[in-house]
Structure 1
Amino acid sequence: MKKIFFLSTISAVLMMSACNKDLNQIPISTSTTATFYKSPSDFLQASNAIYADLHNYPVRLANMSEIRSDNIYGVSVTVRDWDPVNDFSPSLAANAYVTEAWGTDFNGIFRANTLLDQITKNGSYIGSASLATRLQAEAKFLRAFYYFDLVKYFGKLPVIDHPVTAPEASAIGRSAVADVYKLIIADLQAAMANLPATYTGVDVGRATKYAAEALLAQVYMAKSAPNYGIEGPGTGSNEWNLALPLLQDIISSGQFVFDPNYSNVFSYTNQSPTTNKEAIFDVMYTSGISGSSDLYGASFPWALAPNTYFLSIKDTKSNGSLEIIPVSNDLANSYETGDTRKAFSLYTAGYTNAGTTEIRPFFKKWLDITKIPAASRFDWGINFIAIRYTDILMLKAECILHGAPGSQGDADAIVNQVRTRAGLPSVTGVTLAQLFDERRREFADEGSRWFDLQRSGNLLTIMNAWIAKEDAQKAIKPVVANYVIYPVPQTQLDAVPGLYTQNPGY
C-alpha cells in the first residue's frame, strides 16, 4: 500500500530544536532558509515536516483527553505521569504530557509559518502556481489544526502567524481566545477554498477541502459551548448554524461512506484513505521501514494497554504502558446488552502474568495482536483516524438538537444508524444527553471524550458525579471550572518571567 511519508526524516536544516524548555525557538534561521528553498522538492519537504508534528497527536489524546475523562480510572500503584492528569492535581504545570502538548503543537505552527513565509518570498522556485497554492493551503490547515488543539487544552495563546526571532518571541504574550479563533477560522476558510477534494498517487492522505470543512465545523461547535466562567475553548457563541452547512457538504459530497462493519473501520487491512471511506483525515504511519529508527511507525495502539498484558501473551518487547490504565467501571457498564462495540473496544477477559491475575478492563480498539511489530513497540502499522465520517454525522445531529435546521427525526435517524451498526435497537426522541452518551461508546479510545464533555456544558456535573461513584481510593479531587483546561507549562512561564500568567487554579 502506498503512503505519503509525512512522518519521515527530513533535512537537518528543517529540524527545530527538540528541546521545549523555552519560548526562544524559531523554525529556521534566516541564513538557513535563504539557502534551502531552491526547488519544488524543498517546499514539499517543508510541508511534510509540518505533518510530522502530528506523530504524537493520538498519544496526546489518550493521555490528556481519555485519561482526564470519566472513561478512565487511572490511579496507579506507583505514581506515573498520568496520575495527576487523572486526579485533577493543581500541580500539573511541570507534567510531561502538558509540556509536550504545548511544545509539539507550537513546533508545527512555527514550521507552518516558515513555509508560508517562504512561499511568499521564494515561491517562484516551486515552478507551479497550483502547487504553491495547495502547499499554502495545507500549511494553513495544519496551523489551524495545531492552534485548535492548543486552544482546547490551554485557552489563551500567543498568536504567531509569521516567523519570529527569539527576541520577538520573548515579547509576544497570550492573546484572548477570540483572537486565537480568528486566526483558526481565517486559515480554515482559506484552506477550504484552495485544497483539492481528493488526491492521487503518493499525495493520498494529505489534507483535503473536506478535512478543512470538518475542522471548521468542529471549531464553530467548540466556540458555541458554554464558557464555564473561564477563558477556555467555549465562548457561548451559539454558532451551530454555521457548523451544519459544512457538515452537510461533507455528507452530500459522496466521498465518504458509513461503514456497516464497526471493526472494519479500524482494521489493519483497511488503512488506505482510498479504501477506508470513514477516514476524512488520518495521521499516517508505516511500520517496518528499514533504518527508520522507529520514526515511521505508531505507538498509540498500546498507549492505554498494559505491558503486563503483552507479557502474558509472551510478547517481550515491552509493548504497553508501565501499569494498567483501566477503563472505568462506569464506561464498561454503560454498554447495552448486545452492543458489539464493547467487545471490540474493551479487553475484559482478564489475564495472568507472573502469577498475578488482572481482571480490570482496558482499551484495545487499536490493537491487533497478530500485527505486533517485529522490531519495536514504536513501530505499529496502523493509521489514526483524526476525523471520522461517523463523527460528522453525529455532529450534525448535535447541531440539529441545538436548534440548527433539521428535525428530531433527522437526529434520531443518525443515532439509530450508529446504534444499528452496533447491534442495538432504535430509539426515538434522542436528547443531547443521550447523544453524548452514544458518542462516549462510539468514540471510546479515540480521544474525543474530554472535548465532548467540554462541549456538552455538563462537564463539572458529569465528572463530579462520576468521581463520587468511581473513586474508591479517594484520589481524585473535585472538578472545578478551572480544570476544564490545563495549566500553561512551567517551562514557558520560566522562559520569560511575567510574559505569561498562569491559568487560574494552577
Structure 2
Amino acid sequence: MKRSLLYTSFLCFSMVLFAGCKKELLEQQSPDKLTTDNFWTTRDRALTGLSAAYSQLESFIGWDNFVEARSCREYYREDFVEPGSDAYNYSWWMEIYNFNYNSGNYAIDLLWRDNYRGINFSNQVLEQVAAMKPEQIDDSSRNEILAEAHFLRAYYYFKLLTNYRKIIIRDKVPQGETDLPKAPATRPEVWDFIIADLKAAEPKLPLRSERPGTELGRVTKGAAQAYLGKVLIYRAGEDAANNKTYYAEAATWLEKVIKSNEYSLSANYLGMFNGTLTNSTESVFELQQTNDESNGAYYKSQVSDWIAASELGGYGEIYGTPRLLTEMQKEGKVATDGLYDHRIYNTIFFNDAYFNDPANLRVYGGLYKDVFTTNAIAFRKWIPAKLEQLGNDVAINFPLMRLSDVKLLDAEAQNALGATDLAMTQINDVRARAGMPALHLTTVPDVFHQLMHERVMEFTLEGSRFYDLRRWGLLVQNMHDAGREITEDKGFYPLPLKETLNNPLAK
C-alpha cells in the first residue's frame, strides 16, 4: 500500500472524528468537512477506510513500534536467543528478555494500543460499508471489503489474545465516553469471537489466483482458512477437554489450503527473508514493504539494522545461543548434498566451513570472511542481500503465514488425532525443501518431538517459538533449560497500565 493512500486514510479518519466533536459542541456542520455521513460515499472511499484497517498490522508504522518494541516482544521471549551488548542500555527491552516487566512497560502498551487501533478501524469499515447505499458501492465490492475487515479484526484479536491473559471485546465504534468503560471478556468468549469473524470472512474472499498483482498483500480465502486452522490449534492448547474437536476442525481448514493448489513451497527459502523474493508461491499472508517511492511509499524499515550482527556493521541487538546451534545441528550432515539441514545456513551465520570457504564467499562477497571464525551465532533472516542496504530503510516483506506453517500445523493436528502417517507426509514435504531425507516415524510422541524440531528449523526468528512452547505446556521448562528465569504468570502480559487507569472496569 502506498503512503498517499494510508496518509489519506489517517487524515480522513482524523477529520471525521474531529468534525464529529465540533458538531456536538457547536450544533452545526461545515459543508467542506468530512464526517461519517459524507465520507463513506464511494467504493474508493471504502477502500481508503480499509487501508487504515490494514495499517496497524504488526505495529508496522514507526521505529518504536515495529523495529524495537515488536522485535523485543517477538524475539526476546524465545529461549534460543540472547541480547547484544547494546540492548542492556534499554531497560524496557531487558524487562521483556528477563520476564520482569510490569504493566507500565512501553512495548506492552504499544502492542495493546496498535491492535485496538486496528480493531477500531476495522469496526468503522464493518459499520459504515454495510450501511452504504447500492448506488454508492456494488455488492461484490461491499462483500469483499467487509470480509477483509472481518479477517483483520480477527487477526488483531488473535494477536491480543495470544499475548494478554485478559482482553476486551470491542465490536463497535464507541459513540461517546460512556461506551469506553468495559470489562474484559472470558477467553472462550474471545476465541468464539475470533473464529466467528474468520468464518464470516472466508466465503466472501477471493482465492490468491483471483487477486490481481496490484492487490498483493490483501487478504485471500487461503489466509482466512489458514488462520482458522492456526486459531483452532492454539485454542486446543488451552482446552484439553475439547482439544480433539478443535484439532479435527483445524485439520479440515488447513487441508483446504494445502489442497487448493494455490500455494507451493518455494525453493528459495532465504529469498523470503532478505528482500529478494516477495509474495512467493509459499506466501499465504505477507506484510508488504516496498522501495518504490514514486508515490511517496514509506513501507520499509530498519529492522535489518537492529538484527544484523555488530560484526557485520549492524546494531547487533540479538544473537543466537549455542543451544540453538546444537538443536539445529543435531541431525548431523545428512542433507542430500552432505551438508547440514539447509535451513541452518539460511537462518544463522556461525563458524562453519560453509561460511569460511574462500572459493565461495557467502557473507557479503567475503568482506566479512573472518567474522565467523569466532563463536558468534548471528541471524541471517531479515538481513538484506546487499551490504549497502544496511544502515538504510530496507524493503523486506514479512511473511506472516507460509505454506510450511500450514503443513506443520496440519501435521500437528493429524498427529494429535493419531494419524501419524498423514502427519509425516506433511513433515517430509517440508524437510525435502531443506534437502533433508524423509523420516518414517510411527508413534505420536516421536512425531511430536520431530515436529518440535522442525518448527525450530523452519520458523526461528519468525515469532513462533514462545507461543509454541506455551501452548505445548513446555515454556517454563525450556526457559529454565536455557538459563532463563520465568514463572507461569509471565506467560502472558498484564493489562497495560494506561488501560487500567482509563477503564475502571478493566481488572
TM-score (norm 2): 0.82
Distance 1:11 1:73 in 2: 39
Q: 1:153 to 1:6 in 2, by over 3 A?
A: farther
Asked if 1:464 corresponds to 2:465, the answer is no
Give 1:361 shift: 1.7
Q: Point out the more displaced range, 181-190 or 240-249.
A: 181-190
Q: Tell me which residue corresponds to 2:341.
A: 339
1:64 corresponds, among 45, 66, 73, to 73
2:206 corresponds, among 196, 207, 223, to 196
Give 1:61 shift: 5.3
Cα deviation code 1:78-112 (max 9, x no counterpart): 344321111110x3322221111101000000000
Q: Tell me which residue corresponds to 1:287.
A: 291
Q: Is the 8 A contact 2:6 2:48 kept in 1?
A: no
SS of 1:171's equivalent in the other structure is coil
Cα deviation code 1:4-46 (max 9, x no counterpart): 77983224444569xxxxxxx9799476222321221111111
1:387 corresponds, among 388, 401, 405, to 401
For structure 2, which runs of at least 5 residues remain unmatched after alignment? 24-34, 61-65, 333-339, 352-362
Q: 1:399 to 1:137 in 2, by over 3 A?
A: same
Q: Which residue identity is paired with 2:94?
A: D
Q: Which residue identity is paired with 2:303?
A: F
RMSD over aligned Cα atoms? 3.0
Q: Is the 8 A contact 2:5 2:48 kept in 1?
A: no
1:403 corresponds, among 417, 433, 454, to 417
Q: 1:298 to 1:161 in 2, by over 3 A?
A: same
SS of 2:383's equivalent in the other structure is coil
SS of 2:400's equivalent in the other structure is strand
Q: Point out the more displaced range, 362-371 or 177-186.
A: 362-371
Q: 1:174 to 1:201 in 2, by over 3 A?
A: same
Asked if 1:84 corresponds to 2:89, the answer is no
Give 1:212 shift: 0.4
**Percent of pairs with identical residues:** 25
Distance 1:28 1:432 in 2: 56
Q: Is the 8 A contact 2:99 2:490 kept in 1?
A: yes
Q: Which has the higher contact order (CA 8 A, sep 6+)?
A: 1
Q: 1:207 to 1:65 in 2, by over 3 A?
A: same
Distance 1:27 1:285 in 2: 30
SS of 2:489's equivalent in the other structure is helix
Asked if 1:130 corresponds to 2:140, the answer is yes
Q: Is the 8 A contact 1:326 1:362 kept in 2?
A: yes
Q: 1:369 to 1:208 in 2, by over 3 A?
A: closer
Q: Is the 8 A contact 1:225 1:456 kept in 2?
A: yes
Distance 2:58 2:452 in 1: 28
Asked if 1:251 corresponds to 2:251, the answer is no
Asked if 1:9 corresponds to 2:7, the answer is yes
Distance 1:107 1:243 in 2: 29
Q: How many residues align?
A: 454
Q: Which residue identity is paired with 2:506?
A: Y
For structure 1, which runs of at least 5 residues remain unmatched after alignment? 18-24, 228-233, 312-319, 468-475, 502-506
Q: Is the 8 A contact 1:4 1:203 kept in 2?
A: no
Q: Is the 8 A contact 1:123 1:132 kept in 2?
A: no
Asked if 1:269 corresponds to 2:273, the answer is no
Asked if 1:446 corresponds to 2:453, the answer is no
Q: Is the 8 A contact 1:371 1:380 kept in 2?
A: no
Higher Cα radius of gyration: 2
Q: Tell me which residue corresponds to 1:422.
A: 434
Q: Is the 8 A contact 2:307 2:317 kept in 1?
A: yes
Q: Point out the more displaced range, 431-440 or 52-61.
A: 52-61
Q: Tell me which residue corresponds to 1:46.
A: 49
Give 1:73 shift: 1.9
Q: Which has the higher helix share?
A: 2
Q: Which residue identity is paired with 2:56?
A: D
